[in-house]
Amino acid sequence: MYLQQQDQDILNAINGEAKRQSEGLELIPSENYVSHAVLEANGSILTNKYSEGYPGKRYYGGQEFTDQVERLAIERACKLFNATFANVQPHSGAPANLAVYAAFLKPGDTVLGMDLSHGGHLTHGHPMTLPAKIYNFVTYKMKNTETGEIDYEELRRVAIEKKPKIILAGFSAYSRTLDYKKFVEIAKEVGAITMADMAHIAGLIAAGVLRNPFDDGFDIITSTTHKTLRGPRGGLILLREDFPNPFGYKNAKGEDILMSTLINSSIFPGIQGGPHMHTIAAKAVAFGEAMTPAYKEYAAQILKNAKAMEAVLKRENIRMIGGGTDNHLILADVFGSLGVTGKEAQTVLDEVGITLNMNSIADDTRKPLDPSGIRFGTPAITTRGFKEAECARVAELLIETLRNKDNAEKKAQIKAEIKSLAEKFPIPEKFV
């Protein structure tokens, strides 16, 4: 209403994006649709407030209601993930990870994480990132790219040799289950702490349909809140249990500083200023939604839907890295299977209304800007209400599009089918 009068240009772009989101199918596995309750909190007047510090210990006045909001978000996050401590202030996943590194490491200290080319994330040590310029990242990989099995012997060997302070489990393009117990055993052997970056699968863990790394003894979880968790764009840091840090950082009284204290001061004032209280309120709303039985059903359906897509790819002889999926995503070698590059696939699928992303595959011989693979998943279409039958059909349409990438008539037919599927399943406004 106000934008209409004040800023037609921005309103037009927002309306264009709304139309794109509603007419197309969103298969980027890190995206989702939030409820209008989450949108309302995120767009609220809490954006006007500065609240540096933490509930009860702020640097500015007027915090009666912001304290309520942040306390609720913390309480709900802890309940949802079986954690005893939560910092809900990270602006997103990258600052959450940086804050954990900065809390515990000195420049030059070592982190052992999953190789980016085998599914890890940029923030786990890509040479162009700030953390990689400050800390020493060493990596582990899959032992077998056809099954996705991690090379735990190599992980242990590197851990013993390089003595990392943090062993990091987590990924953005890996479709199998990690053996968290093995990570914990190896970390204990070398005196490292364990950190799980669960950004992609946080919602599946919260719902109990995937294993919680805390149940196997992980120390720290970092996450974003906007992927399977279906909240606003933001980050989160959790501790299973608080304990005095094992790295010898002392307070003024000469006592070992608690892990929670190091994390809190690493976020503020370490790397962030004022928290985004409107986003924290929206996180609290999303955490509330994730506690409902309906959300558990949603999370279980994400997995069933991914399996339905996997079955079609198997039937059509499309190679999947890891041989298939145990979670919400699939990484397919479209260059090896169909002779279509990841970039070509992304472009032609965009044309018919299927949005996904090109992605490097393990040991890719092609460059990251025109890789061999595509990555796609089911969180957003499951939010729309898609079940196995519709997901299988989407997988068929995806493959059909790639097989007919130069056939304009065929692509027009597919586009029409995608649009009518999307119309049949409008984006919901509420989940509870």
The SS3 of residue 324 is coil
Closest CB to ligand DSN belongs to which residue? 30
Site string for ligand DSN, 117-136 (x = CB under 6 A): ----x---------------
Distance, in Å, from the CA atom of 379 to the CA atom of 204, rounded to the nearest integer, reads 10
Residue 201: CA count within 13 A, CB half-sphere = 28
151 is catalytic: no
Distance CA 162, CA 125 (A): 15
Which residues ranging from 42 to 101 are in contact with ligand DSN (CB under 6 A)? 93
Would residue 227 show up in a list of annotated catalytic residues for this protein? yes
Please check whether residue 327 is in contact with residue 203, taking contact to mean a CB–CB distance below 8 angstroms. no
Find the catalytic residue in 33, 58, 174, 197: 197
- One-character DSSP codes across 202-242: HHHHHTTSS--GGGGT-SEEEEESSSTT---S-EEEEESS-
Nearer to ligand DSN, 76 or 375 (CB): 375
How far apart (Å, rounded) are the C-alpha atoms in residues 354 and 376? 10
- Please tell me the distance from the alpha carbon of residue 322 to that of residue 341, in angstroms, as a whole number: 19
Q: Is 370 a catalytic site residue? A: no
Looking at beta carbons only, is 66 or 279 nearer to ligand DSN?
279
Q: Catalytic one among 76, 156, 165, 227?
A: 227
Residue 54, both tokens: 């933490």
From 31, 49, 50, 410, active-site residue: 50
Provide DSSP, 89-104: --SSHHHHHHHHHHHH
Whichever of 110 and 172 has its CB closer to ligand DSN, that residue is 172
**Smallest distance, ligand DSN to C-beta of residue 359, A:** 9
Tell me the closest approach of the beta carbon of residue 329 to ligand DSN, in angstroms.
9
- Active-site residue, 52 included: yes
Burial of 353 (0-12, 13-18, 19+ CB in 10 A): buried
d(CA 313, CA 169): 27
Whether 197 is a known active-site residue: answer yes
Taking residues 166 to 195 in sequence order and writing x for each that binds ligand DSN by CB under 6 A, - otherwise, the string is ------x-----------------------
Nearer to ligand DSN, 302 or 414 (CB): 302
> Could you tell me how many residues of this chain bind ligand DSN (CB under 6 A)?
4
Q: Rounded to an integer, what distance in angstroms lies between the CA atom of residue 379 and that of residue 238?
A: 23
Q: Of the two residues 7 and 350, which places its CB atom closer to ligand DSN in the complex? A: 350
Smallest gap, in angstroms, from Cβ of residue 178 to ligand DSN? 16
Q: Does 222 sit near ligand DSN (CB under 6 A)?
A: no
Residues 368-427 interacting with ligand DSN (rule: CB under 6 A)? none
Q: Rank residues 116 and 259 by Cβ distance to ligand DSN and give the closer one.
A: 116
CB of 131 to ligand DSN, least distance (A): 14
Q: Which of residues 16-45 bind ligand DSN (CB under 6 A)?
A: 30
Whether the ω angle into residue 213 lies within 30 degrees of 0, i.e. cis, is: no
Give the pairing of strands 142-144 and 373-377.
unpaired
If the CB atoms of residues 31 and 242 are measured against ligand DSN, the closer one turns out to be 31
CA distances from 8 to 14, 17, 43, 44, 288 (A): 10, 14, 19, 21, 35
Which candidate in 129, 194, 224, 341 is catalytic?
A: 224
Q: In the bound complex, what is the minimum distance in angstroms from residue 210's beta carbon to ligand DSN?
A: 16
Say whether 25 sits in a helix, a strand or coil.
strand
Q: Which residues are designated catalytic?
A: 50, 52, 197, 224, 227, 233
Q: Which residues of the chain form contacts with ligand DSN (CB under 6 A)?
A: 30, 93, 121, 172
